[in-house]
Amino acid sequence: MTVLTREEIEQGLVENRNSPNGTARNAHAEVLVGAAEAIGDGPLFRTALDNLINAYLWSAESSKMLVPFARLLQEYDKDPGAFDRWDAHSLFWQFKWVATAIGDSPEIPLQSAVGWLDEMERRYRIAGYSERPVRESEMWLADAIGDDDRAERAHRAWLAAERDDMSDCHACELNGQGAYAVLRGDDARALELWQPVLAGERTCAEEPHRLLATSLLPLLRLGRFEEARSHHVRGYRMARGNESLLPSIGKHIEFCALSGNESRGLEILAEHAAHMSPLVNVDDQLAFHGGILVLLRRLTELGHGRSPAVPYDGVPHTVSELYEVLRASSLEISRRFDTRNGTSRVSDRFLARIEREPLVDVLPLGVRSSALPRPAAAVVTATAAGPEELEELVERARQARDQRHPAADALWAEVGVRVDARPQDEVDPLLAADVADQRALTAARGGAENAAELLEAVRDRYLELGRAERAALAQLRLASEAAQSGAEPRRIRELLAAALKAAEALDEDEPLRERRIALAELSSIRVESYLRSLEAGPEHEHLHEPGQDHGHGELAAELAAFVASYEEALPDLAAEAEEMLGRVALSQGDPERALPLLAASAARAVSAGMPWQAVDALVLRAGVLMSVERPEEAQEAARSALDHSAQVTEAETQAVVRLTLADILLRRADGAAEAAEHALTAAHWFDQADLTADGGAQARLVLARAYAREGRHADAAEVLQSTLPDLLEHGEGQAVSVREFLGDLLRQLNDPRAAAEQYLLAAEVAKEWEDPRPQAALAQAAAEQLAAARLDQEATAAYERSLELFRVTGDAPVAEVRILRSLAWLAPRESTGAAAWARARELMDQACAVLEAALAEHAADAGPTGADASPLRAELAQTWLQLAQVLDWRVTAHEQSEDESTSRDGDGSADGSEVDVQALRLEEIDLTARAGELYAELGPNHLGDRLQCVQYAAWTEQEIGREDAGATRLAALIEELRAMPEEVVPDGLLERAQSSLDSLRS
C-alpha cells in the first residue's frame, strides 16, 4: 500500500473541500484520515478528521460523523493546547451536529443519546458557552420520544437563553422555532417566524432551501396558494440534486401529490431515482420516502397503480409495488425508532403523513409538466338514476342545445352515460336519437372516418320519428362534415342544396323553420367562400395584400346581406356573420374597418343572451387594437372577453382569453403581477386542451417575463427552462430570444456558467443571419459571464469573436471599445508578467484609437447641426479612467510581488520586471484629470463620473506625497458643486465629495 506524503494529504484535503458533496467525497475524506493517521502527523490527522465530519454533514451519510467526532474529541481531551482558538470553536460547534445525528440514529440507545446531551451541556458550561444550543437539542429529543412537557420546557429555555458564538445562525434557529410551532398545530405562527428567512433577510448554506420546502404544506393548509406555488418553484430549484436536502425533495414531492400536480411529482422523483436506495442516514430516508409514499398512494387512487415506477435498488416496480416496498421499509425504520424511544411517536407521525389527503384539487404551478397517461385499466361506471332525475337532466341538456350553450356537450355526455346504463328497451326513442345525434356531432368535430355515416343514420332516425326540424339540422351537418373532410366541391354543394331544401320544406308554422333556413344560408356563404378560393388555385391561397380582393368583396357583400336580413329575428346568427365580416376586413388589411364590426358582433351576441358567443370576437378585437397601438381599448376588450367567458367550457378558449389579457397587461408598467396570474391560468388551460407545446409554451413565456418584471428571477428561470424545448421549436427568432432571456435570468441568479451557455447557444443559432449584430451582442454577453465564472481563456475567445463581428458592421464603435477594455482587464488576470501588462496597455490604446477615429469621422460628417457626439466622448473619458485603473493594478501587483519576495528571500527582489512606479502614478493622475475635464465638458449629467475622476487623481497624488495638490483638486470641485443649482447636483454627491476631502486631509 502506497503511503501518502504530508504534501499529498494536504493537497488532497484542499481538493476534497472543493469536491461535490456525496459518497465519493466522503470516501476520499476517509482515505485522507487513514493516511494522516498512518504518518503520525497529529495536526494533520485532526484536520483530516474535521474535514471528514464536514463531508459527512453535507451528505446523506451524516449519521456517520459520530465516529470521527468521537476520535477528534479524544484528541482534544489528550491535549487541548494542540487546538487553536478556531479549532476548539469548530469542535464545540460540531457537538450540535452530533446531537442531531445521535437523535437520528435508532441503533444508539436512548440512554446513550441522553448521555451525549448531558456531555454536551457539561462541556459547554465549562467552556463558558450559553446553554441555548443544548436546550434546542434537548427539545428535539424530547419531542421525538413523546415527552411533550419536557419538550415545552426545553423550548422555553432555548428561547430564553442568550445567543453567543455557539448559537446557530438566525436562519437555522427560525427554521427550528417555526417547525416546533407546526408540530403544535400553529401554521400561521410558523410562517410568521419563518418570514425573515423566506424573504431572504436571513440566509445560510441551506436556508432558505429547507424552509421553502417546509413551508409548502402550512401555506396550502392556510389557503395561501400563490406563496405555496412560488416556494415550490423557487425552492425546488435550490434543492434539486443536493444529497443533504433529500428530506426537502421529499416535501416537494408530497406537495405535488397534495396539490393536483402528480405528474410534476413523478418528474421530481425520476430526477432523484439514484437516491431511492436505502440511505445511511435512516432519518433522512424516512423523510424522503415519506413524501414519495404520499405521491405513490395518490397515483394508485387515480388508477395508476399498475403503471411503471422508478426502479428501487435496481429492481423495476409498478407504482403499487413500489408503494408497498417503501411503506414496509419505512415502517420498519419507524419501529426501530419507537423501540429505541419507548413510544409510538415516530410511527404515528409517519402514518399520519402518508395518509394525508389532497389540500386543493389543482394548483397550477406554471412549470411545464407532462400529463399523466390514462390509467391502463380505467373502468367507467354510471350511477343509476331514477326516471325523474334523468328527465330533469335531459330537459337541461335540450335547453342548452337549443340555446347553443357551451355546457351542452358536457350535459349530453352525462345523459349518454346514464342512457347506456339502462336497458335499451326502457329508453325513449327520441332520447336515444338525441344521444346518437350528439355523438355523431362529436365524431364530425373530431374528423372521425365514420362521421358521415353516423350523421346519415341520425337524420334518418329523426325522419322516422317525425322530427323533420332535427333531421334538417343533421342534413346541414353532413354538408359541413363533407367540407371539413375535403370532399369534392360538387358533392359539398349538393349537400348544401339538400340542407337548404330540407329547411325550406319544414312546415310554415314550425318555430325553427327560419333558424334552419338561416343556418343553411350562413353555412353556404362560409363554405362557398372556401370553395371559391379552392377553385381559384394555390396561387391565390395566401395572397391577402391590401387592395387585392381575391373573392373577399363577394363574401363581404353576402355576409352584409345576411346581417341585414336576420339582425332582428336571429341576432345570434347575425353576430356570427358580423364576426366573419370583421375577419374578412382583416384579411384585406383593413383593421380600422374590422374593429367596429367585431365590437358590433360582440354586442349583438350579448344582447341576444349569448355572452359566450362574444368571446372570440372580443379576443380578436383586443389583438387588433394592440396592433394599432390602442392598448387601453385592447385591455377593455380582453377584460370583457374574460367576463363573458364565465360559461365557456372549452379549455382552449379559456386559455386564449387569459393569454391575450396577460400579453396586454405585460406591456403596462404596472401590469406584471396581474399578467402573471392570467398567464399561469392560461398555461393550465392549454395543458387541459393538450396544447402544452403550443399555446402552453407561449403562456409560460409570458409568465416568465411577468415574473422577471416582478424581480422573481428564480421563478421565471424555472418556468422558462421547463418549457424551453417547446419554445425552441417555434422558429429561429424565438429560439434566440428565449435563450437570451434565459441567459439574462441566470445572470441575475449569479449562475454565470449557465448564463454563458445560453448566450453561446443563442449566438450559434444567429450565426447564419445576414445581420451579424445579434450574434456579436450575444457573444459579448457570453464573454462577460465566462469572465465572471473565471473562465478567462473562454471569455477571451468569446470577446474576440464578438469584436470581429462588430467590426464587420463598421458602425459599432462603442461596442468595440467596451470589448477592448474588457480584454484589457482579462490580460493580467492569470499572469502579471510584463507581457500581460503590455497587452493590457495595447488594448486600451486600441480603444482610444477607435474612439478618436469615430469622433473625427463624426465631426467630418455631422456638421454644425449633426448628431450628438456626447456618447463617444463619454466612452473616451471612461477609457482614460479605466486605463488609469489598469496602471494602478500594475503598481499594486508589483508592490505585492516585492513584499512576497522580501518575505521569502529577504533580499527585496521583485518579479524581474522593471516598473517605474512614480511614472505610472503620474500617468494615472494625468489620465484621470483628462477624463474629469472631458466629463466636465459633457455637463451635469456626468457629475458623478467627474467626482470619481477627481477623487482618483487626488488620492493618487497623496500616494506620491502631493497631499495638498490632491486636496486642492477636490476642494475646487466642491466649491463648484456648491455654486450649482441644488436640483442639478445628484442627491448625496456633495456629501460624498466632502467626506472624501475630510479623509484626505486627516
Over the stretch 24-58, which tens digit does the pLDDT of each residue have? 999 999 999 999 999 999 999 999 999 999 999 88
Instruction: Please give the radius of gyration of the chain, using alpha carbons only, rounded to the nearest integer.
Output: 38
Share of the chain above pLDDT 70, in %: 95
Q: Rounded distance, CA 218 to CA 226, Å?
A: 13
Beta bridge partners of 546: none
Confidence (pLDDT) at 534: 79
pLDDT tens-digit series, residues 435-487: 999 999 999 998 999 999 999 999 999 999 999 999 999 999 999 999 999 99
Q: Tell me the CA distances in angstroms from 489 to 447, 532, 926, one per residue in order.
A: 18, 9, 86
Q: Residue 1001's pLDDT band (boundaries 50, 70, 90)?
A: confident
Write down the pLDDT at residue 548: 46
Confidence of residue 218 (pLDDT cuts 50, 70, 90): very high
Residue 250, pLDDT above cutoff 70: yes
Per-residue confidence band for 522, with pLDDT thresholds at 50, 70 and 90: very high
At residue 29, the pLDDT reads: 95
Query: Which pLDDT value is given to residue 882?
Result: 96
pLDDT at 91 over 70: yes
CA end-to-end span of the chain: 65
pLDDT at 539 over 60: no
The angle formed by the CA atoms of residues 620, 622 and 625, to the nearest 5 degrees, is 110
What's the confidence (pLDDT) of residue 387? 58
Phi, psi of 64, rounded to the nearest 5 degrees = -75, -5
Rounded to an integer, the average pLDDT of 976-984 is 91
Please give the C-alpha separations between residue 415 and each of 351, 372, 436, 879, in angstroms, as whole numbers. Answer: 41, 27, 11, 78
The C-alpha cell 484528541 sits at 75
* pLDDT at residue 374, rounded to an integer: 65
Task: Kindly indicate the confidence band of residue 377, based on its pLDDT and cuts at 50, 70 and 90.
Answer: very low
pLDDT mean over 271-299: 94
Rounded Cα distance between 673 and 677, Å, is 7
pTM: 0.84
3-state percent helix, strand, coil for the chain, nearest multiple of 5: 75, 0, 25
In this structure, what C-alpha cell is assigned to residue 148? 411533550
Share of the chain above pLDDT 90, in %: 79
- For residue 550, name the pLDDT band (cuts at 50, 70, 90): low
What's the pLDDT band for 360 if we cut at 50, 70, 90?
A: very high
Residue 541 has pLDDT above 80, yes or no: no
Q: What is the mean pLDDT of the chain?
A: 91
Low-confidence winner among 767-781, 822-836, 920-934, 936-950 (lowest mean pLDDT): 822-836
Query: Residue 253 carries which side chain, given as an amino acid letter?
Result: I
pLDDT band at 955 (very low <50, low <70, confident <90, very high): very high
**Span 736-795, pLDDT tens digits:** 999 999 999 999 999 999 999 999 999 999 998 999 999 999 999 999 999 999 999 999
C-alpha 730/C-alpha 807 separation (Å) is: 31
Residues in a beta bridge with 359? none
280 and 288 Cβ atoms separated by less than 8 Å: no
For 178-196, write each residue's pLDDT tens digit.
Answer: 999 999 999 999 999 999 9
Q: Are 277 and 60 in contact (CB under 8 A)?
A: no
**Sign of CA pseudo-dihedral 776, 780, 786, 792:** positive
For 378, other C-beta atoms within 10 Å of its C-beta total 9
**pLDDT tier at 381, thresholds 50, 70, 90:** very low
pLDDT at 154: 96
pLDDT at site 862? 60
Which three three-digit cell numbers place residue 703? 409568465
Residue 480 main-chain phi, psi, to 5 deg? -65, -40
Which three cell numbers mark 706? 411577468
